[in-house]
Amino acid sequence: MNFENNLAFAQALDQQDILREMRNEYLFPQQNGKPFIYLCGNSLGLQPKVAREVLEVQLNNWQNLAVEGWFEGNSPWMFYHKELKKLMAPIVGAKPAEVCPMNTLTVNLHLLMVSFYQPKAKRFKIIMEAGAFPSDQYAIESQVRFHGFDPKDAIIEVKPKEGEYTLRTEDIVKAIDDNAEEIALVLFGGINYFTGQWFDMPAITKAGHKAGAIVGFDLAHAAGNVPLQLHNWGVDFACWCSYKYQNAGPGGISGIFVHEKHFNTPLNRFAGWWGYNEAQRFKMEKGFIPEAGADGWQVSCTQVMPMALYHASLQLFKKAGFMDALRTKSKTLTAYLFYVINQLNTKLGEEQFKIITPQTEDDRGAQVSIIAKANGKKIFDELVVNNVLGDWREPNVIRLSPVPMYNSFEDVYRTGELLLTISQSIA
Ligand SMILES: *Cc1c(COP(=O)(O)O)cnc(C)c1O
């Protein structure tokens, strides 16, 4: 598409956008009586307007039914997660039996590693991206120690080439091939939180399996952002949070994926009563018998309030047609932000803003990470003062996420204009 850097053009794109009404389903934070242009959905998605109501429904159930709410009412809590599984499956490209909402993300990463990181004397290494989200680094490090290995020996980090910010697929595959005999687990982010790079998940999965390793993904920045095919790609396991692109609220419930090929393998797990075979759960007997599928990884009883929020948010994904239309809009919206930033550099006569997110649209989602040549933090602060909310990542990156669910082309255009004004006034 030939973009133009003017308001009329941006508004025309909004007119043609079949998802343009979706933003009316969300609440935008305000400052001085004006809504923010919100470009921070990669960190915490906006509140669906219906959120308050669905919480109220559950508060009423609790009030009116109390303990009977587990089995009575129009959505008994005992089976509440089943509705969610149906809505989660199309987000990550799984069968409903392969997904389950539970706990929070890092907790699930640990629980899944208990099952899927089974180091042996010779095959004990984990391969991951350098610069992974810190929580993942700590989780992996501590799992390695838990098994009596030294992270220095057991963790292989794939780094970008000198002078580059993102990883090349051939380097990831080569690292896997080179260490094929020793790798127990390949564990990558789906999308890197810092650069916004969407890794070639099918290629990584294929290479990991060829090496004889298990392959898992942390999809915190990918789920609800880009279309995924976890089942078809043969990914062994994955987990994600629901509060970034999936708008389920701070500390929202996490989701797990376990490929059905693992359903009948006896796997180590840290069990709890909620993972016990559902039909016999309340016999309260000794000896753990897992429920079939991903549900067998549940530990504690259903977190009804966070699940109600996730359910409400996923209904809006359903309304948007799940990932197809969202992805189509997202590609154009993010490409427009690239264009606007490049125009800005041209007008300023130098590369004031360096984009470190991949240039090719298949290698990125709805995030653009930029490094300002100078005054990065000052520029970021000025954006906020002027009602544009992105986020700042030390040491020098501004992340802007135009989210197709609720951002418009006008949002992107106005952000570019503001960046220009700020740059000219600071310089
Ligand atoms: C956001 C994010 C987390 C956060 O984990 P919580 O347990 O939900 O606090 C972990 N890993 C990655 C890759 C993330 O992007």
| CA 409 – CA 407 distance, rounded (Å) | 7
pLDDT tens digits, 142-182: 999 999 999 999 999 999 999 999 999 999 999 999 999 99
* Residue 66, SS3 per DSSP: helix
Residue 395 pLDDT > 80, yes or no?
A: yes
Residue 427 pLDDT > 70, yes or no?
A: no
Ligand 1 atom nearest to 106, measured from its CA: 7
| CA 267 – CA 334 distance, rounded (Å) | 41
- What is the percent of the chain with per-residue pLDDT over 90, rounded to a whole number? 96
Alpha helices (H) along 293-350 = 304-319, 323-348
> At which residue do the structure tokens 């989210």 appear?
403
Residue 4 pLDDT > 70, yes or no?
A: yes
Mean pLDDT of 256-262: 98
Which of 108, 109, 112, 135 to probe ligand 1 with, by most ligand atoms within 8 A of CB? 135
pLDDT tens digits, 328-380: 999 999 999 999 999 999 999 989 999 999 999 999 999 999 999 999 999 99
CA of 253 to the centre of ligand 1 (A): 12
pLDDT tens digits, 261-308: 999 998 999 999 999 999 998 888 899 999 999 999 999 999 999 999
> At which residue do the structure tokens 């700020």 appear?
422
CA of 96 to the centre of ligand 1 (A): 23
Residue 201, amino acid: M
| CA 211 – CA 16 distance, rounded (Å) | 47
Q: In the prediction, which pLDDT does 282 show?
A: 87
| CA 209 – CA 232 distance, rounded (Å) | 14
Residue 149 carries which DSSP code?
-
Name the residue with the closest Cα to ligand 1, atom 13.
133
Please give the helix or strand (H or E) that residue 370 lies within, else none: strand 368-372
Instruction: Supply the Cα-derived Rg of the chain in whole angstroms.
Output: 22
CA of 138 to the centre of ligand 1 (A): 11
| CA 274 – CA 52 distance, rounded (Å) | 27
Q: Residue 75: exposed, middle, or buried by beta-carbon count in 10 A (0-12, 13-18, 19+)?
A: middle
Ligand 1 site, residue 204, Cβ cutoff 6 A: no
Residue 363, amino acid: D
In the chain, the domains with their CATH numbers are 7-35+323-426 (3.90.1150.10), 54-320 (3.40.640.10)
| CA 323 – CA 224 distance, rounded (Å) | 7
Q: In the prediction, which pLDDT does 170 show?
A: 97
- What is the percent of the chain with per-residue pLDDT over 70, rounded to a whole number? 100
Ligand 1 site, residue 38, Cβ cutoff 6 A: no
Ligand 1 site, residue 136, Cβ cutoff 6 A: yes
Mean pLDDT of 396-415: 97
Ligand 1 site, residue 252, Cβ cutoff 6 A: no
Q: In the prediction, which pLDDT does 394 show?
A: 87
| CA 87 – CA 71 distance, rounded (Å) | 22
Residue 239 pLDDT level (bands cut at 50, 70, 90): very high
CA of 240 to the centre of ligand 1 (A): 8
Residue, of 75 and 188, whose pLDDT is higher: 188
pLDDT tens digits, 52-83: 999 999 999 999 999 999 999 989 999 999 99
Whole-model pTM: value is 0.97
Ligand 1 atom nearest to 218, measured from its CA: 13
CA of 192 to the centre of ligand 1 (A): 11
Greatest CA separation for the chain: 73
pLDDT tens digits, 79-104: 999 999 999 999 999 999 999 999 99
Binding-site residue ranges for pyridoxal 5'-phosphate? 105-106, 133-136, 218, 221, 243, 273
Ligand 1 site, residue 218, Cβ cutoff 6 A: yes
Residue 400 pLDDT > 90, yes or no?
A: yes
**Mean pLDDT for all residues in the chain:** 97
Ligand 1 site, residue 104, Cβ cutoff 6 A: yes
| CA 128 – CA 176 distance, rounded (Å) | 10
Of 330, 341, 409, 408, which Cα lies nearest the Cα of 369?
A: 341
